[in-house]
A and B are shown apart, each in its own frame.
Chain A
Amino acid sequence: MPDQSSFLSRLAAHGDAVAVVTDGLAFGYGELVRRVEARVAGLQSRGVGSGSVVGLELADEVEHLIASLALIAVGARHVTRPTHDPAEAKRALSERVRATHVLTVDGVAARDGVPSEASGAEGIVYLKTSGTTGGMNVIAFTATQLAEQAQRHPEYASERLLRLASIEHNNSKRHRLYCALMGGTNVFRPSGEFDVAEFCARHGVTCLDISRMHASDLAAQGGIGRFDGVKLRTGGSAVPIDVRRAIEERVTPLLYVRYASTESGAIAMAGPGEHDEMESVGRPLPGVQLEIVDPDGNPLPAGETGRIRLRAPGVATGYLDGGEQTASRFRDGWFWPGDVGMLRADGSLVVQGRQDDMMILNGINIFPGEIERVLERHPAVKVAAALPLNSVVHGQIPVAAVELVEAASVTATDLQRFAREHLALRAPRRVIILPSLPRNSQGKILRREIALAFEKGRRTT
């Protein structure tokens, strides 16, 4: 049987601290535990417990958090089935994790013909991540692993955390859980458009955690002084120095840029005073052992570029059912995030690109990230995505698609020339301008779709 009281006692230990805040609601950890216990009773009355696998489909963020904590407490495994996902995607996810139940606003329903299977004593949260070949990998984190990951965020103990992305998104969910485990305050946004600065001020938000895209938008909007005292934390993709400077000057000087992966949680973070032209992501977080190694696995000295590997309490040890990449990403006792980078003499990490994404054009190694960073320095460019086009003659030809800022006037040729001035032979050989870059529901740019646009363009234009 899962040690339900032990898990809930972690939450109860936070005493009178405020656990949840929304526009119309605020309650402490005592009330949170009561609500979780009530949900636990409801789950158990429907036969959900250790051995159950539950697809959690709740858009209401507070209810989602409570349900998630309750599912962990009863020892069930659960996965978020985002309400905005198409029905087929939800069904595929349920099949992948062999879900026995689905929990929605209508209650818990058992899925026909899917028996419960014995599982360990702990509740488990499944997080999904995209594989490099387009497939989906699922990672199972125990409550203990999540608690270990949360220890890398001691600041959460006194944080009032607002995230613009819904708890239905992986990264938001794990940070909402960290915040609860550490005794911080989860502040949830209202639905629809709202004045983020005013909301932060009204609810005493101390940390605004947003995607790099949202961060760029905030910087473009300006509003100097409106976020005084609020930390802005972002990550998820490389954050160019120009964007960092714009945020520091126009939004808040309290900028934090995080390097993380779904498999490990946060790895490193650059804080105020640590943002420079090298676009460092800061020093590894407490408990994270990180090395840069050569292709044979030999550690490299500071300043040399190589493959990143790390280990830390709470890091995943593989993908569900082995997954497509378990053998390559989890080996020799290390997690290999697939990135290439260097450690500087001061211990800070510079991530230079994805090992898998490195292109080789006539013997020249080129990372998409370096192209994207240069294009995004152009004032007309909102966001750029670089990718290779395979060539029998040249290997891989770098190309890029860009999305322009509103009312910008620039041609693709101008941008190609701009890139050439900064990158010389590492420049993209073709640039296209798209109304918007294709993204998935989590805002991740879909490079395969962009590649299709280039392939089509090669044949027809």
Chain B
Amino acid sequence: MGEGDLRQMLVDAIDGSTIVGLRRSGLMEGFLDGTADIPFAALEMDSMGVMELCIAVEVNTGIEVVPAELVELGSLGAVVATILERQQ
């Protein structure tokens, strides 16, 4: 899965989940075209949201990320970078 697909996958996963801050952040378009990052704080994720993001990463890429590890990453851009790194 390339970087663009990964970004789209994360947006789709978040958009269809309990995480409410994505559209309110105003950063979605920039994140999709790779010109902006979205910090987790802007996503307004609770623990359930973190879990959902972990599931989305695993079910779409096969890469296992535990919630604590995901929180440490701090932003969606860092999630993308981590997946790309582990895919290699």
Contact residues of A with B, CB < 8 Å?
A: 361-362, 389, 391-394, 397, 399, 413, 416-417, 420, 424-425, 429-430, 454-455, 457-461
Contacts and interface: CB of A to CB of B under 8 A. Distances in A.
Given A362-B51, A461-B1, A461-B5, A391 B58 contact: yes
Nearest to A389: B59
Closest 6 CB pairs of A and B: A458-B62, A417-B16, A413-B12, A430-B59, A429-B59, A397-B59
A429 B56 contact: yes
| Main secondary structure on B side of the interface with A | helix
Contacts, number: 51
A389 B54 CA distance: 14
B26 to A, nearest CB: 21
Contacts of B64: 391-393
Interface residues of B, number: 22
A391 B13 CA distance: 18
Contacts of B5: 461
Interface of B: 1, 5, 12-13, 15-18, 48, 51-52, 54-56, 58-62, 64-66
A391 B64 CA distance: 8
Contact of A458 (B48, B54, B60): B60
Contacts of B61: 458
Contacts of B12: 413, 416
Contact of B60 (A362, A420, A430): A430
Given A413-B12, A413-B16, A461-B5, A393 B54 contact: yes
A459 B58 contact: no
A424 B52 CA distance: 11
Given A413-B12, A420-B16, A459 B62 contact: yes
A425 B55 CA distance: 12
Contacts of B59: 389, 391, 397, 399, 429-430, 454, 458
A429 B62 contact: no
Contacts of A399: 59
A397 B61 CA distance: 13
